[in-house]
Amino acid sequence: MIALNILLLGAEMLVYFGAMLALFRLRGTLGIGVFFCALGSLHFMETYLAAAYYVQLPFSVSLSPGSVVLFSGKLALLLLVYIREDALVARQPIYGLFLGNLVLLALVFLLRLHNVVPAPGVPADIAFMDQLGALAVWSTLLLFIDSIAMILLYERLSSRVKRYPVAVIWATLALVLTFDQVGFFGVLHFALDVPLSAGIGGWVGKMVAAGFYALMLALYLDRFEMAGDPLRPRIADVFDTLTYRQRYEQLEVTSRLDPLTGVLHRGQLEPLGRDLVAIARKTGRPMSLLLVDVDDYKEVNDIHGHATGDAVLRQLAGAISESLRQSDHVVRYGGDEFAVLAPGVSHTSAVALAHMLNGSVTALALPDGVRKQTLSIGVATLPEDGQTLTALLEAADKRLYAAKAAGRNRVTGATGDGGLSDNG
């Protein structure tokens, strides 16, 4: 019986996560709202199972599929939304779940005031909704905290351990799920007298689920999302050529990219930058702009030829892109100049980001004979440096010029020598 429970839990994780990944993959066709609706429709079942439905495991411990299968999977799916979309999109289902639970509590309160005529053979008792509704609200509050912590952890770990995505995702999920288990099980234990063995079993199950979901998530991202390479060949491309709409969508994507470096081309800077500035002003959040110049790139072309120069420039653009968040944007601003738009990033963090970019570029293994490359970077931030894209560009350009004039390989975050920071 215990072996059967373990097999069934594995099958449940595979069915649930596989189905949700399929819906996420189809977001371009069906819309991401379909994915969010499916995610939200299981929230009440998840809470009910976590409170009332447990299965036996070895060593006299038990766990709930609601916590291990559904909640752990939901957290992994929200991480996927953040990785492939951004934090603004990832927070939408969290707000929706929380507000929906508040509405549920209000409706239950009003329903209890009715004079009820029970259906034959069915008791007209909704008292269980009081506990479940309160648990759902508490679990969603925890989910909000979990999601913030998960994003911060993932950003920190992924920036340091880029080569092992499964380990990064597992560590992120494992740490956040441990915190959540303490917070949620504590309420279950004191309010519903759920035994400690269920808490221990739930934590062990969540750690295993984190590994299972991390593996599936990494495989999905590698196989289907193909980050940074929108036209990587696939078998499905044979069928794409039969559909005008799909060909048009691919053309639309590639038309925004610089053909040499694969980052956004200069024409995308103004419309994208103005939109990000407008959002930053409306929300009251900062928005930073980095102007990046490769210090000795002309020397690479002069000594090694343009073919090698092009290869080096592609490496530099790739290093810059890989050092940024999914919500940041890289634009090829000129021949060997790039602009980085970083929404939600304060000035201090943007200066730190600039140093990290230079470190990533300096660490590159370049073609034989090409000496290491360095960057000069000017940083400007809304609102302190201006309220328009033009003002930010002017401020960043002046600081970039100051960095180059001061000897290159520097980050300038303020006008004057006091803002210079040597990278060397």
Question: What is the average per-residue pLDDT within 366-389?
Answer: 93
Question: What is the average per-residue pLDDT within 55-67?
Answer: 80
- High-pLDDT (> 90) share of the chain, %: 35
- Binning pLDDT at 50, 70 and 90, where does residue 375 land? very high
Contacts from 264-269 at CB under 8 Å and sequence distance 24+?
264/329, 264/330, 264/331, 264/332, 265/331, 265/332, 266/331, 266/332, 266/333, 266/334, 268/329, 268/331, 269/331, 269/333, 269/339, 269/341
Confidence at residue 147, expressed as pLDDT on a 0 to 100 scale: 83
Sign of the Cα torsion 381, 385, 387, 391 reads negative
Question: What is the average per-residue pLDDT within 395-424?
Answer: 78
Please give the model's pTM, rounded to 2 decimal places. Answer: 0.53
Separation CA 270–CA 259 (nearest Å): 19
Helices (H), 161-285: 165-192, 196-220, 237-240, 244-255, 269-283
Helix (H, G, I), strand (E, B) or coil at 332: strand
Confidence at residue 227, expressed as pLDDT on a 0 to 100 scale: 43
Confidence at residue 411, expressed as pLDDT on a 0 to 100 scale: 93
Higher pLDDT, 248 or 415: 415
Structure tokens at 163: 């080569």
**Residues 47-58 pLDDT 10s:** 778 777 878 877
Confidence at residue 189, expressed as pLDDT on a 0 to 100 scale: 67
pLDDT at 19 over 90: yes
Confidence at residue 294, expressed as pLDDT on a 0 to 100 scale: 92
Confidence at residue 45, expressed as pLDDT on a 0 to 100 scale: 84
Average pLDDT, the chain: 82
pLDDT at 18 over 90: yes
Confidence at residue 293, expressed as pLDDT on a 0 to 100 scale: 94
**Residues 97-123 pLDDT 10s:** 878 878 877 887 788 788 877 767 666
User: Which residues of the chain are in CATH 3.30.70.270 domains?
Assistant: 256-422
Q: Which amino acid is at 290?
A: L
pLDDT at 211 over 90: yes
Question: What is the average per-residue pLDDT within 349-374?
Answer: 91
Crossing angle between the packed helical segments 43-52 and 87-111, to the nearest 10 degrees = 70
Confidence at residue 340, expressed as pLDDT on a 0 to 100 scale: 96
Separation CA 66–CA 52 (nearest Å): 9
pLDDT at 4 over 80: yes
Question: What is the average per-residue pLDDT within 25-40?
Answer: 88
Among 154-163, 172-181, 288-297, 310-319, the minimum mean pLDDT is found in 154-163
Confidence at residue 252, expressed as pLDDT on a 0 to 100 scale: 45
Q: Which CATH class is domain 256-422?
A: alpha beta
- CA-nearest of 16, 65, 53 to 38 is 16
Among 93-97, 355-359, 373-377, the minimum mean pLDDT is found in 93-97
- Binning pLDDT at 50, 70 and 90, where does residue 339 land? very high
- CA-nearest of 225, 228, 197, 189 to 322 is 228
For residues 106 and 53, is the Cβ–Cβ distance under 8 A?
Answer: no
